[in-house]
Every structure is written in C-alpha cells, then in structure tokens.
C-alpha cells in the first residue's frame, strides 16, 4: 500500500491532520505529523512525534512487550497539576523504525482529542472506512424468539466499511412494548453516542440488541432518532427473504 508499511499485524502510515490531545484542559501534544498505526485490523490509533509533546513524561520503569512493536516503555504523563499514570508508551528500539521517535498516548486517559478543530471520540477516523446512509423502501422485518418486533417499509440503511448493512427504522415501526431501557452507552467516531434497549420476548431477555443515536454527529444525521438491531443477534427478513445472521466481532 502506498505510504504504508506492513510489519506482522501492524501497519503504519503518516496522517495528514493536525492532532491535539488535552488532559484537564492542558495541552499534552500538538502535531502536524501524526502516525496512523493499525495495531488491530479494525481501526488505527495515533502515535505522535516526541518532539511535539508538551507534557512531561516520567518513566515508571515498567515495560510492556509487543511481538510486533517491541518493548514499550511506560511513562506517566504530567502537565500542569494533572497526571495520567501509565498513559504513555515509547518504543525507542522498535523493529518498526517510524515508532522509535514517537509516543503512544492512551486514548481514554486524555480528556479531549482533536483532529484539526473538531473533537473526535473513541479512536482516530480510519481513512479507509466509509459510512453511507441511504433512504430505502425495502421491507425490513425483525424477529426475535419467533416474534416480530419491528416491521418497516421506510428504513435508512447504513453501509459502513467492514460491517454488514445496518437497518435503522422509525420507532413507530418497532414493538415498543418489548423494549426495556438499558444503561449501556457506546461511542462511535463516525456516528456519536448510542443508547441501548434490551428486548423481552416471551419472558426471555435479549440484552442490548437495539440502539439509537438521538443526537448523532453531523455526518450521520440521517439516522437520528431511528432504532437499529444487531444483525448478528436477531433474525432479519429483507423483502421476504430471511437473512443469514452476520458474523462480526459483535457476534
């Protein structure tokens, strides 16, 4: 792949966005030269040049070994009065040359991340991932435990690279009497924060199988206020044809 390298299961390539990280309102790092590193196949993380780190890095003496990246030296991150313990790793002797002068900041340990001037959540946006949301008149029926829990002819279908199509349907097309609110929330860098319901059918509970984005990010406004069911965990009948259950890391 152009401008990228494969090292075992790790791919590295330069990013083109300005990236900033903050801890308790204090700037930790600000760079125009981030690295996108695919430690896992699902999404990248940022490695930032050590020269662009504004915080103090205090070695803890702890080392985490990675078969592909080498020995990661653990550091506390201190800026102003704030400290994030064990929140940074450096790989000064990594077999991946690009990582030797970079730092990996633990994503959730930072309070805010920005690409250019927009906040980002969960992980960097993958430049090879696309999300398309299309209005459709296809007939979507959702069954759980042999009962129909949703029936819609006006879905919005969300196509996301690497995942099965997701069918978002109006709440008025959902059997709301089967829904039980859940305290679960998840975040997506492309869609925003989702809240969940569990389903109760014939006395059996199916935990966190339905979600909704009530206030999605700007690029995903088409699914605002619509409900979606995990293809992996329910039965979906599309235009009269029962679909095979998808197999993903959500299965």
Whole-number Å distance between alpha carbons of 133 and 53: 38
* 46 within a domain of the structure (yes/no): yes
Inter-CA distances, 77 with 55, 117, 158, 221, Å? 6, 23, 39, 36
Residue 112 pLDDT > 70: yes
Q: How confident is the model at residue 8 (pLDDT cuts 50, 70, 90)?
A: low
Q: Element (H or E) spanning 174, and its range?
A: none
State which residues form the domain around 60. Answer: 5-120
Q: What is the mean pLDDT of residues 154-158?
A: 98
Mean pLDDT along residues 173-178: 97
The answer to whether residue 125 is domain-embedded is no
DSSP assignment letter at 125: P
Is 116 in the same domain as 136? Answer: no
Q: Out of 71, 92, 120, pick the residue that ends a domain.
A: 120
Same structural domain, 92 and 141:
no
Whether the pLDDT of residue 2 is over 80: the answer is: no
Nearest-5° angle of CA 231, CA 232, CA 238? Answer: 30
Q: How far is CA 158 from CA 10, 100, 227, in A?
A: 28, 39, 12
> What tokens does 122 get?
């969960």
Whether residue 217 is found in the same domain as residue 154: yes
* Residue 160 pLDDT greater than 70, yes or no: yes
At 197, which CATH number? 2.170.150.40
Quickly state the pLDDT bin for 229 (edges 50, 70, 90): very high
- 105 and 29 part of one domain: yes
> Would you say 79 and 55 are in contact if contact means Cβ atoms under 8 Å apart?
yes
Instruction: Mark which of 56, 91, 120 sits at the end of a domain.
Output: 120
Residues 91 and 182 in one domain: no
pLDDT band, residue 247 (cuts 50/70/90): confident
> What total number of domains does the chain contain?
2
Residue 107, CA atoms < 13 Å, CB-side half-sphere? 13
| Domain end (from 65, 86, 120) | 120
Q: Is residue 163 in a domain? A: yes
Residue 248 lies in a domain: no
For 32-155, strand residue ranges (E) read 35-38, 45-49, 56-66, 70-79, 82-90, 102-105, 112-115, 118-120, 131-135, 140-144, 147-152
pLDDT tier at 249 (50, 70, 90 boundaries)? confident
């Amino acid at each position: 792949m152009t401008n990228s390298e494969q090292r075992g299961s790790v791919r590295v390539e330069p990013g083109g966005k300005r990236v900033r990280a903050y801890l308790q309102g204090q700037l930790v790092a600000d760079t125009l030269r981030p690295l996108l590193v695919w430690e896992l196949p699902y999404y990248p993380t940022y490695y930032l040049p050590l020269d662009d780190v504004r915080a103090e890095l205090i070695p803890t003496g702890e080392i985490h070994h990675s078969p592909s990246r080498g020995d990661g030296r653990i550091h506390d991150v201190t800026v102003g009065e704030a400290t994030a313990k064990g929140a940074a790793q450096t790989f000064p002797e990594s077999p991946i040359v690009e990582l030797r002068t970079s730092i990996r900041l633990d994503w959730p340990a930072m309070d805010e991340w920005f690409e250019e001037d927009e906040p980002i959540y969960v992980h960097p946006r993958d430049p090879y991932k696309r999300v398309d949301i299309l209005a459709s008149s296809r007939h979507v029926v959702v069954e759980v435990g042999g009962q129909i829990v949703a029936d819609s002819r006006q879905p919005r279908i969300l196509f996301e690279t690497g995942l099965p199509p997701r069918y978002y349907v109006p709440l008025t097309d959902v059997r709301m009497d089967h829904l039980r609110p859940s305290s679960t929330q998840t975040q997506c860098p492309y869609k925003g924060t989702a809240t969940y319901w569990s389903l109760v059918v014939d006395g059996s509970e199916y935990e966190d199988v339905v979600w909704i984005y009530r206030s999605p990010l700007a690029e995903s406004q088409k699914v605002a206020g619509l409900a979606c069911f995990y293809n992996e965990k329910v039965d979906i009948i599309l235009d009269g044809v029962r679909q095979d259950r998808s197999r993903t890391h959500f299965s």
